C-alpha cells in the first residue's frame, strides 16, 4: 500500500505558468495548448520532498541572474554535499558563495530574481527552480522558492566529481577579463560537451517597475551535445544547435523577451571556468540544419564580456558516459561532411567490413564503416547498392540496411541464395555466396549512398502494422530500432504490430534481437511469429513467455484480424513476391486502402497494385508516360575511352540497358527491374518512356536504363537519345 503523501496541494491559479515569450515559442512550434495543461501539472510553487533531498546531496548548484546592466550570467557555487538545505518546502539555504570575480557576488541582494539548476552528475537527474533572494551575506544565500519542476536527463553526460580539497585555490584564483575569445578559450569551447546558459526577462522586469509574477525572472539551463556541437564563427560569435527538449522553451522564451544570455563552461581537466555574457539571436532556418543530427533550430551568441577563472572549479571531473540522447546528435564537422556527402550522392564510396555475424543458417550480417568516417544518411527501410569484385569483374546488388539511422555503420543482412549447379558463377547466388564465403573483416567494398521510398514515418501517430517474410524482416528491424531511438529522443512512439513469417524456427533470423526490441518498447511493439512448417516439439501460443511461435501456416486475413483491433493503420509490407502479393490482396479484402500499404518487394517482379491496375485500365498511367518510339537514334558515350557509338534502336531491342550491352557497353545495374536506381544515367538528349512506372524515384532528366525505352518525338521525326555510361 502506498504511504499517504504529505505533499502540499498546489495552489490553484488561472495564471499560465509560462510568460509571453515562452508562449510565443510554444505557439510557433504548435505545442502551446498541450504545454498550458502540462505546465500546470508539473510546475509547482514549492519544493517537493524529493527535491529537498535531492538538493541536499549535491556538490554544486548552477544559478542564473541578470545584472543591473541587463546582462545575464550563469554562475556555479560548490560545496561539500549538505551545503544546500531547506528548512521547509518554500525555502532553500545555500551555504557558499560564487568564485572570485563572479558578478553574482555583487548582485546578490534581497529581491534579486534567480533561476537555479541542480544536477546529480552520476545519475544525470536534474531539477530546477526559480526563486527570490531573501537575504545574502559572505556565508551564503537564503532563497524563497517561486517555481520548481523536474527535468528529464536528456543530453546530460554522466560524470563523477572527486574531492573538494582545492577550495582554497579557487578562492585565491584571479579572474582574467575577456572581451574576445582567444585560442585558449576557443579550445575550451571546442572541446566542451556541456555548458550552462542563463537567460532572463530583464526587459520585462524593468518596464514593469513592480514585483513580477513567478513566471518572470531568470533561468539557468543545461546544454549538452558531442564535442564540436558549438560552432566558433570568429573571436566573438558562437552558433549553438537547439535540440528537442521538454517543450517549456524557458531559454528561447526568455531570448524573445530579452535577447541576451550568459554562458558558463567548465574545463573537465583543468577546472578552469569560462563565464561569458552577450547578445543572442534565434536562427530558425540555417542552411546546415538538415545535415545536423538532432538540431531543430539554432541560436547565435555574440560575446560582450566575461572572465576566465583558472582552476576555478574545485573538483576533479571524470567523464563516465555520454547520454544516449547525445549519440543522436551531430557536430558542425559532421554536418558539413554530410552536406558534402549528399551533394556527391551519386558517387561510389569505399567502405570496410568491420564485423561479420551469422544470424541464421542462411543469413549473415555485414557491418560496413566508411573509409572517410562519413556515413551518408539514410531513412529506416532504405537500401543501398553494394559493389564487389568477383573474378575481376565489378558486380552490383541492392541490399536493405538492417541497422538504424544514427549509428556509425551500415549493417547489411544478406541471405545466401541457392546458386544453380549448372551456372554457379551467375545470378542467382553469385554475390550472396561470395559475401558469405569470401568477404572477410577488413575487406573493402564500394557502396552508393542509400535510397528508396519504403521508409518508416516516426512522426505519424497512427498505429503501424509491419508484415514481413524471410529476409524481408531486414528493413522492418531497421524501422523498429529507429522507432526505439526516436522514442528516446522525443519520448513518443506510435504503437507497432509486427507479423514475422518464416518456414521454420531454424530458418528465422534475428529472434533474440526482435525479442529485445519488444522488451524495450514498453508495450508499444508487439511481435507475432508465423511459421509455415514448425519443427515438432515447438510450443504454439499467444502467451509469448511460454511459447516459441504464435501461429502456424501462412499469414492470412484471419490471423491479421485475430490480432488487430479495428483501427486506422499504416501497413508496411516486405518479403518475397508471392508473400507480398497474397498479403497485399488480403489487406485489400479487409478493406485497407491501397494508399495505406507501403511495400518493398524482394524479387524480380514488383507488386501489382490495385491503384496501378485501375489507372492503367483508365489510361491515366499510360497518359502520364510518354509513348514509346518505334525506333530512335541512340548515342552512347563511353566514359572511359571517350568514344561514342551511335546506333538505331528498334522496339525489338527492348530496354536501353539491353541495347547498350548488345553494343559492347557494360553499364552499372543491379535489380534490372526499376527498383534500385543502379542503372540511372543523365540524359544528354531526348526523352525516355517506361512500360509501367518504375518503383525507383527517377529524377527529372535521368533515365533508368534497365526499363527505359526511347520516347516518341512530338514532331514526327526519329527521336535522338544520348547518354554516357
Find the shortest distance in angstroms from Cβ 456 to ligand FES. Answer: 22
Q: With residue 296 as reference, give the H or E element that holds it.
A: strand 295-309
C-alpha cell at 540: 504454439
CA angle 299, 218, 45 (to 5 degrees): 125
Helices (H), 29-99: 32-42, 49-57
Distance CA 529, CA 473 (A): 11
Q: For the segment 688-707, give every residue that binds ligand FES (CB under 6 A).
A: 696, 704, 706
723 binds ligand FES (CB under 6 A): no
Binding of residue 674 to ligand FES (CB under 6 A): yes
Which of these, 278, 287, 275, 282, lies nearest to 300 by C-alpha position? 282
Which of 122-125's residues contact partners 24+ apart within 8 Å by CB, and which partners?
122/158, 122/159, 122/160, 122/320, 123/158, 124/153, 124/156, 124/157, 124/158, 124/323, 125/54, 125/153
Q: Hey, what's the cell of 698?
A: 527517377
Cα–Cα nearest to 255, from 14, 28, 75, 16: 28
Which residue, chain included where needed, has cell 582567444?
182
The residue of the chain with the least Cβ separation from ligand FES equals 706
Least separation in angstroms between residue 694's CB and ligand FES is 7
Q: How far is the CB of 600 from ligand FES (least distance, A)?
A: 13
- Answer yes or no: are the C-beta atoms of 127 and 136 closer than 8 Å: no
Residue range at the interface with ligand FES (CB under 6 A); choices 12-20, 334-342, 542-550, 672-680: 672-680
Among 217, 677, 686, 710, binds ligand FES (CB under 6 A): 677
State in angstroms the smallest separation of the CB of 672 from ligand FES. Answer: 5
Gap between the Cα atoms of 301 and 171, Å rounded: 29
**Angular region, 44: left φ>0, alpha ψ -120 to 50, beta rest:** beta
What residues contact residue 539 under an 8 Å CB cut-off, 6+ apart? Answer: 546, 547, 548, 549
Shortest separation between residue 392's beta carbon and ligand FES, angstroms: 21
Least distance to ligand FES from the beta carbon of 698, Å? 9
Q: Which is nearer to ligand FES, 132 or 676 (CB)?
A: 676
Contact stretch for ligand FES (CB under 6 A) within 15-23, 256-264, 607-615, 668-676: 668-676
CA distance 574 to 517: 19
Minimal distance in Å, beta carbon 707 to ligand FES? Answer: 6
- Residue keyed to cell 518498447: 521
656 touching ligand FES, by CB under 6 A = no
Q: Shortest approach of ligand FES to residue 667 CB, angstroms?
A: 9
* Among candidate residues 684, 687, 708, the one with its CA nearest the CA of residue 696: 708
Name the residue nearer to ligand FES (CB basis): 167 or 609: 609
- Indicate the DSSP class of residue 372: T
Q: How far is the CB of 676 from ligand FES (least distance, A)?
A: 3
Nearer to ligand FES, 570 or 600 (CB): 600
Q: Mark the segment that binds ligand FES (CB under 6 A) among 1-9, 167-175, 248-256, 665-673.
A: 665-673
**Strand, helix or coil for residue 390:** strand
Q: How many residues bind ligand FES (CB under 6 A)?
A: 13
Judged by beta carbon, residue 157 or residue 675, the one nearer ligand FES is 675
Which of residues 170, 192, 433, 670 is near ligand FES by CB under 6 A?
670
Instruction: Report residue 394: phi and psi, to 5°.
Output: -75, 130
Closer by beta carbon to ligand FES, 98 or else 398:
398
Q: Which of 310, 286, 315 is nearest to 298 (CA)?
A: 286
Backbone angles phi, psi at 497, to 5 degrees: -115, 130
Q: Is residue 473 close enough to count as binding ligand FES by CB under 6 A? A: no
CA 167 to CA 403: how far, in whole Å? 48
Give min distance, CB of 295 to ligand FES, in A. 34
Give 464 or 679: the residue with its C-beta nearer to ligand FES.
Answer: 679
User: Residue 197 or residue 676: which is nearer to ligand FES going by CB?
Assistant: 676
Residues 209-228 that bind ligand FES (CB under 6 A): none
Per CB under 6 A, which region of 291-299, 619-627, 666-674, 716-724 contacts ligand FES? 666-674
Q: CA 425, 428, 431, 436: dihedral to nearest 10 degrees?
A: -100
Candidate list 676, 703, 711, 721; residue touching ligand FES; CB under 6 A:
676
Region from 18-26, 333-341, 570-578, 671-679 binding ligand FES, contact rule CB under 6 A: 671-679
Name the residue nearer to ligand FES (CB basis): 384 or 493: 384
Cis peptide upstream of residue 695 (ω within 30 degrees of 0): no
Q: How far apart are CA 650 and CA 96, in angstroms?
A: 89
Cell numbers placing 701: 532528366
| CA 468/CA 555 separation, integer angstroms | 10
- Our CB check for ligand FES shows the closer of 385 and 583 to be 385
For the bound state, the minimum distance from the C-beta of residue 658 to ligand FES, rounded and expressed in Å, comes to 11
CA 698/CA 688 separation, integer angstroms: 11
Can residue 671 be called a binding residue for ligand FES (CB under 6 A)? yes
Residues 6+ apart with CB under 8 A from 86: 47, 52, 55, 56, 92, 93
Least Å distance, CB 655 to ligand FES, is 9
Tell me the residue length of the chain: 725
Question: In the range 366-385, which residues lie near ligand FES by CB under 6 A?
Answer: none
Question: ∠ CA 70-71-73 to the nearest 5 degrees?
Answer: 135
Q: Which residue has the cell 515447438?
A: 538
CB of 603 to ligand FES, least distance (A): 13
The CB-of-675 to ligand FES minimum distance in angstroms stands at 6
d(C-alpha 129, C-alpha 119), whole Å: 12
Cβ 696 to ligand FES shortest distance, Å: 5
Measured in whole angstroms, how far is the alpha carbon of residue 143 from the centre of its chain? 40
Nearer to ligand FES, 470 or 674 (CB): 674
Q: CB of residue 668 vs ligand FES: minimum separation in angstroms? A: 8
CA distance 206 to 405: 48
- Is 411 an interacting residue with respect to ligand FES (CB under 6 A)? no
Choice from 92, 189, 368, 678 touching ligand FES (CB under 6 A): 678
Q: What backbone torsions phi and psi does residue 86 show, to the nearest 5 degrees?
A: -140, 125
Q: Using the rule CB under 6 A, which residue among 125, 481, 672, 709 binds ligand FES?
A: 672
> Stretches 12-20, 235-243, 608-616, 663-671: which one binds ligand FES (CB under 6 A)?
663-671
CB of 679 to ligand FES, least distance (A): 3
The sign of the torsion formed by the CA atoms of 613, 616, 621, 622 equals: positive
Q: Are 221 and 126 in contact (CB under 8 A)?
A: no
Nearer to ligand FES, 358 or 394 (CB): 394
The CA angle 603-605-609, to the nearest 5 degrees, is 120
- Smallest distance, ligand FES to C-beta of residue 485, A: 30
Among 447, 587, 679, 711, interactor with ligand FES by CB under 6 A: 679
Q: According to CB under 6 A, which one of 322, 528, 669, 723 is a site residue for ligand FES? A: 669
Can you name the residues that pair with 364 across neighbouring β-strands?
A: 358, 414
Q: Which is nearer to ligand FES, 335 or 660 (CB)?
A: 660
Interface ranges with ligand FES (CB under 6 A): 669-672, 674-679, 696, 704, 706
Amino acid at each position: 500500500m502506498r504511504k499517504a503523501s504529505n505533499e502540499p496541494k498546489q495552489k490553484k491559479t488561472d495564471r499560465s505558468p509560462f510568460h509571453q515569450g515562452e508562449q510565443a515559442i510554444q505557439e510557433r512550434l504548435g505545442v502551446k495548448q498541450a504545454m498550458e495543461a502540462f505546465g500546470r501539472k508539473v510546475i509547482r510553487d514549492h519544493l517537493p520532498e524529493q527535491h529537498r533531498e535531492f538538493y541536499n546531496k549535491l556538490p554544486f548548484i548552477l544559478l542564473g541572474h541578470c545584472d543591473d546592466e541587463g546582462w545575464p550570467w550563469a554562475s556555479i557555487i560548490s560545496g561539500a554535499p549538505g551545503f544546500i538545505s531547506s528548512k521547509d518546502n518554500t525555502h532553500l539555504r545555500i551555504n557558499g558563495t560564487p568564485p572570485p570575480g563572479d558578478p553574482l557576488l555583487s548582485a546578490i541582494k534581497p529581491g534579486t530574481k534567480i533561476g537555479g539548476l541542480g544536477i546529480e552528475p552520476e545519475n544525470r537527474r536534474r531539477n530546477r527552480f526559480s526563486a527570490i533572494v531573501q537575504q545574502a551575506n559572505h556565508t551564503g544565500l537564503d532563497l524563497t522558492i517561486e517555481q520548481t519542476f523536474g527535468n528529464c536527463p536528456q543530453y546530460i553526460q554522466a560524470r563523477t566529481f572527486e574531492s573538494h580539497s582545492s577550495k582554497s585555490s579557487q578562492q585565491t584564483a584571479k579572474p582574467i577579463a575577456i572581451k574576445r575569445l582567444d585560442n585558449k578559450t576557443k579550445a575550451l569551447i571546442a572541446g566542451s560537451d556541456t555548458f550552462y546558459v542563463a537567460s532572463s526577462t530583464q526587459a520585462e522586469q524593468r518596464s514593469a517597475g513592480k514585483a513580477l509574477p513567478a513566471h518572470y525572472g531568470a533561468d539557468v539551463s543545461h546544454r549538452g551535445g558531442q564535442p564540436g556541437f558549438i560552432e566558433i564563427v570568429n573571436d566573438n560569435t558562437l552558433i549553438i544547435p537547439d535540440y528537442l527538449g521538454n517543450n517549456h522553451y524557458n531559454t528561447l522564451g526568455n531570448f524573445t523577451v530579452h535577447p541576451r544570455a550568459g554562458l558558463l563552461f567548465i574545463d573537465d581537466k583543468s577546472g578552469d571556468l569560462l563565464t561569458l555574457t552577450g547578445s543572442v539571436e534565434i536562427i530558425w532556418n540555417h542552411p546546415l540544419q538538415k545535415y545536423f543530427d538532432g538540431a531543430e533550430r539554432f541560436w547565435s551568441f555574440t560575446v560582450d564580456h566575461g572572465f576566465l577563472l583558472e582552476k576555478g572549479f574545485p573538483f576533479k571531473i571524470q567523464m563516465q558516459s555520454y547520454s544516449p540522447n547525445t549519440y543522436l546528435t551531430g557536430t558542425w564537422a559532421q554536418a558539413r561532411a554530410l552536406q558534402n556527402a549528399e551533394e556527391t550522392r551519386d558517387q561510389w564510396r569505399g567502405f570496410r567490413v568491420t564485423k561479420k555475424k551469422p544470424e541464421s543458417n542462411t543469413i549473415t550480417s555485414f557491418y560496413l564503416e566508411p573509409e572517410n568516417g562519413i556515413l551518408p544518411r539514410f531513412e529506416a527501410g532504405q537500401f543501398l547498392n553494394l559493389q564487389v569484385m568477383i573474378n575481376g569483374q565489378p558486380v552490383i546488388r541492392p541490399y536493405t540496411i538492417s541497422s538504424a539511422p544514427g549509428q556509425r555503420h551500415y549493417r547489411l543482412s544478406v541471405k545466401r541464395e541457392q546458386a544453380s549447379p549448372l551456372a554457379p558463377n551467375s545470378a542467382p547466388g553469385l554475390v550472396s555466396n561470395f559475401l558469405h564465403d569470401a568477404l572477410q573483416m577488413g575487406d573493402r567494398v564500394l557502396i552508393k549512398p542509400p535510397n528508396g521510398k519504403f521508409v518508416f514515418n516516426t512522426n505519424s501517430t497512427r498505429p503501424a502494422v509491419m508484415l514481413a517474410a524471410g529476409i524481408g524482416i531486414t528493413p522492418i528491424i531497421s524501422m523498429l530500432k529507429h522507432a526505439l531511438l526516436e522514442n528516446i529522443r522525443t519520448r513518443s512512439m506510435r504503437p507497432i504490430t509486427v507479423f514475422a513469417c518464416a518456414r521454420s524456427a531454424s530458418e528465422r533470423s534475428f529472434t533474440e534481437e526482435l525479442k529485445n526490441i519488444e522488451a524495450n518498447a514498453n508495450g508499444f511493439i508487439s511481435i507475432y511469429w508465423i511459421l509455415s512448417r514448425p519443427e515438432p516439439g515447438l510450443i504454439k501460443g499467444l502467451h509469448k513467455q511460454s511459447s516459441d511461435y504464435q501461429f502456424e501456416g501462412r499469414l492470412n486475413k484471419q490471423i491479421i484480424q485475430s490480432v488487430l483491433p479495428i483501427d486506422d493503420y499504416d501497413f508496411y509490407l516486405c518479403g518475397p513476391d508471392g508473400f507480398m502479393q497474397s498479403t497485399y490482396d488480403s489487406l485489400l479484402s479487409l478493406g485497407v486502402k491501397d494508399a495505406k500499404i507501403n511495400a518493398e518487394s524482394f524479387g524480380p517482379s514488383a507488386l501489382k497494385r490495385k491503384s496501378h491496375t485501375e489507372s492503367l485500365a483508365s489510361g491515366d498511367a499510360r497518359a502520364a508516360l510518354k509513348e514509346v518510339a518505334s525506333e530512335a537514334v541512340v548515342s552512347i558515350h563511353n566514359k572511359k575511352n571517350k568514344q561514342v557509338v551511335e546506333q538505331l534502336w528498334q522496339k525489338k531491342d527492348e530496354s536501353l540497358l539491353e541495347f547498350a550491352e548488345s553494343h559492347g557497353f557494360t553499364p552499372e545495374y543491379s535489380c534490372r527491374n526499376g527498383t534500385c536506381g543502379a542503372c540511372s544515367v543523365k540524359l544528354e538528349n531526348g526523352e525516355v518512356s517506361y512500360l509501367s512506372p518504375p518503383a525507383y524515384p527517377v529524377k527529372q532528366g535521368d533515365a533508368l536504363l534497365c526499363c527505359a525505352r526511347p520516347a516518341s518525338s512530338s514532331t514526327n521525326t526519329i527521336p535522338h537519345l544520348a547518354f554516357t555510361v
